[in-house]
Amino acid sequence: MAAVMKKAWMRPLRGTAGLLAIGLILEAAVRICGAIDFPIYETDTSIGYIPSANQSGSFLRKNEWHFNELNMGADSFTPGPWVDTLLIGDSVVLGGNPITQEDRLGAALQRAAGGRVWPISAGSWAIRNELTYLRTHRAVIAKIDRIVFVINSGDLHDRKSQWTCDANHPRKKPTVALWYLLEKYFLHLKECAPPLDAAEHQSVIWRQEFEASMRWPETLGKPIYVVVHLAVNELSAPSTQASAEATILKSLKDYKNLRFIIPSHSKKWGQHLYRDAIHLNTDGNRVLADIIQAHLNTPPLNFKHAANYPTTRLIAR
C-alpha cells in the first residue's frame, strides 16, 4: 500500500521534472541557434530609441550585424579622402534581423557608389528622430560629403517615435529566451503601440527643425538627397503611386537645395523587390542602391518647371 502511495505521489514530480527538462532543452536550443542574438537599444526622450553603440552579433548564426561607436550600422567611423555619405532612415535602411549586414542598403550603396557609406537608422523612426540624430551629431555632418534621406509617406509628421516595448526594440537580452520568443510571436501579452497615422498630425515642428538643419554651417553647400520610398500598396495603381509621391514632394518642395530620387519611376522597380509591405529584400536593396548611385550629383529639382507633378517623371531611368 505504501509503495502504491509513493508512486502516486511521485507522478506529478516526475511530470514537473519532465516539463522542466524539456523547457531547459528548448531554452538551450534557441540560444545556441542564435534566435536572441539581435541588437539591443538605448532609449531616452530625446532620440526616442537607437541601436546601442559598439555591439555586434549573428542572428540565427547567419545574419551578421554590427554597430559602431556612433550607433551606425558600419565599422568604426573613419572619414577619409574618399566620398563619405551619411545614409539616414527607418527600418528600410536598418534592414533588420532577416538580412545580413552585407546585404543591407548601406553596404549595397557603398559597393555601388564607392567611397564610404555610414547608415544611421532605427525601425519606425520618423523624420524628427532622424533630425534629432543629426542635431546631436553635427560633428559627424562636418566630416561627411553628402546626406541621403530615405523617406516614406508615414515619416513626415510631428510625433517623434518613442520606445514602446521590448518586443520591437529590446533594451537588453532576455533573461529567459524561450519566454521572450513565445510572448513576442504567439502570446502577445504586452502589445506594442501601433504605428501612428501621419495624417492625424500637423507638420509644423518637423518643418522648423528641417529648415534649421539646412542652415547649419556643417550642412551648407553639401548635397542632400531624398529617396522617395513607396510601400507595396502604393504601387498598386498609377493613381495611388502618384498620390503617395505627391505627399512627400509637396511636403519638401520649399527646400530648394534638395535633390529627389524616386525609385518607383525606374523600369527596374517593382513589387518583387519587397519582402513585406514596406521592407526590401536583398535584391531590392541592391536595385535601390544602383538607382541612388545613378542619381548622385544630380542638380536640385526646380519645382517651377514641374508644376504638373506628380505625373511628371521627375527622376526616372
Instruction: Output DSSP code: residue 78.
Output: -
* Low-confidence spans in the chain with pLDDT less than 70: 1-11, 15, 193-202, 298-317
pLDDT of residue 201: 52
pLDDT of residue 141: 97
CA distance 293 to 299: 14
Question: Nearest 5°: phi and psi at 223?
Answer: -65, 135
Q: For residue 155, give the C-alpha cell.
A: 515619416
Q: What fold does the segment set 66-169+194-305 form as a domain?
A: Rossmann fold (3.40.50)
CA distance 104 to 227: 16
pLDDT of residue 186: 85
CA distance 88 to 93: 7
pLDDT of residue 20: 85
pLDDT of residue 264: 95
User: Is the four-CA dihedral 43, 44, 50, 55 of positive or negative sign?
Assistant: negative
pLDDT of residue 225: 96
Residues in a beta bridge with 66: 56
Please say whether the beta carbons of 40 and 76 come within 8 A: no
pLDDT of residue 70: 98
CA distance 231 to 279: 8
pLDDT of residue 195: 54
